[in-house]
Amino acid sequence: MENNEFYTVEQVADLLKVHWQTVLNYIKGGKLKAVKLGKGYRISKEALNDFVKENQTQS
């Protein structure tokens, strides 16, 4: 793994300007890849970038 920068669910929610529960729904729905650590999840920078690219609207 080249990039070992990870975000918490709350950090991703802040970056995407959505509620943290929405981020959990993305993870549980398989739309956003995450690693479960203890009771929480960690999202890699790469997984977040992939998620944003896959969900961009075409202008």
pTM tops 0.85, yes or no: yes
The pLDDT-based confidence of 1 (bands split at 50, 70, 90) is very low
pLDDT digits (tens, 9 = 90+) for 42-55: 999 999 999 999 99
Q: Where are the alpha helices (DSSP H) in the chain?
A: 9-16, 20-28, 45-54
* Bridge pairing between strands 35-37 and 6-8: unpaired
pLDDT digits (tens, 9 = 90+) for 26-43: 999 999 999 999 999 999
The pLDDT-based confidence of 57 (bands split at 50, 70, 90) is confident
